[in-house]
Amino acid sequence: MDEELENGITLLEDILQSYNTGKEYHIFFPRCAKENEEDIVYFPIFEENMHGTLTLKVWAKYNLETYILEGYIEPKSKIMLFDKKLTNFKKKKFAKNVIALYEIFYTAQDFMNLSEDSIEYIANQELLEEKIDDYKKLFKLVLADEELAIVYGVKKIEPVKQEVAKIPSQPAQATKKVDKKKELTIKELQECINKIDTKNSSKEKYMLKLMEEVGELARDINENKRMKNNKIEGTVEGEIADIIYYAVCLANVYGVNIEDCIYKKEKLNCKKYNRKNMFK
C-alpha cells in the first residue's frame, strides 16, 4: 500500500509540474465531472503565501478520455487552506483516495491505443466508470474534513454571530416535519436520466450494463438480499432500480417514449390474452 500511495502522490506532483510559474505551489484531490459525455477531473492548485498558508489559485482541467491537460480554470473565490506542512499529512490520511486516483489515471492510459468502436474500448470505459465511482465514494471522506469542505465549496465560512440576550418566551409547539416525496412519472424519469446520461455511441455499453444488473438481481433473489434500514446497495430493490435505469438509458438512445409504448403494448396483450385493459 505504501508503494501505491507514493505512486499516487507522484502522479499529483507530475500534474503540478505543468503549472510552474516560479512560485511555490501545492496540489490536492480533484473533483470528477462529466462534460460533453467525457470524464473530466479538476485538480485544485494552491499558491503558498508568506505565512505558510495556501490560497486556491486555479483548477487544472484534465480530460481522462484524451489523457491530456486541457487548461486552467480560475476559481470563483480565493479560498485559503490549512498550513502547508499538513498537505502531505492529509494526503496520507486519505491514502485510499490517492490510490483510487492513481488507478483512474492508470486505467485512462489504456484509451490511447484503443479504437472507440472496439469491444476493448467499451470494456475499458466500463472499468474507468467503476474506478471513478470508487473515487467519488471515497471523496465523501475528504469532504467530511471541515477545512476541505470549505475549499471545495461544500461548506461556507459562516461569520461569528454575537449572542443577544432575549426575554424568555413560551416555547412554540413543535410541528412534525413530514418528508413528502414527489410522485415520479415515467416521462419525468426519462427526462431526468436524459440530462445526465445519454450517449448515442454507447448502445452496447447500456446493453452490457443491463445484462450485468439482471445477473446481479438473480444473485440477490437467490440469496434473498432485501433492503433493511434504507440500505439499498446490494439488494433486490437496488438491482431493480439499476435495471430500470439502464433500460431507460436504452430507451432514450433510441428515442423511445416508454409511456406510449406501455399503453400500446397493453392493447396488444388484451387481445392476446383476452382480458380487460388494466388502465381502464
Tell me how many degrees the CA angle 196-241-199 measures, rounded to the nearest 5. 30
Taking 50 as the pLDDT cut, the residues of the chain under it are 157-165, 167
Exposed (0-12), middle (13-18) or buried (19+): which is 254, by Cβ within 10 Å?
A: exposed
Per-residue pLDDT, 165: 47
Torsion angles phi and psi, residue 40, rounded to 5: -125, 145
How far apart are the C-alpha atoms of 271 and 277, rounded to whole Å?
9
All domains of the chain, ordered by start, with CATH?
A: 2-151 (no CATH), 186-273 (1.10.287.1080)
Question: Cβ(111)–Cβ(120) under 8 Å?
Answer: no
Helix, strand, or coil here: 224? coil
Q: What is the pLDDT of residues 143-190, one digit of tens each?
A: 776 666 666 666 554 444 444 445 455 555 555 555 566 788 898 898
Cα–Cα dist 123/207, whole Å: 12
Residues 196 and 198: their CA atoms lie apart, in Å, by: 7
pTM, entire model: 0.46
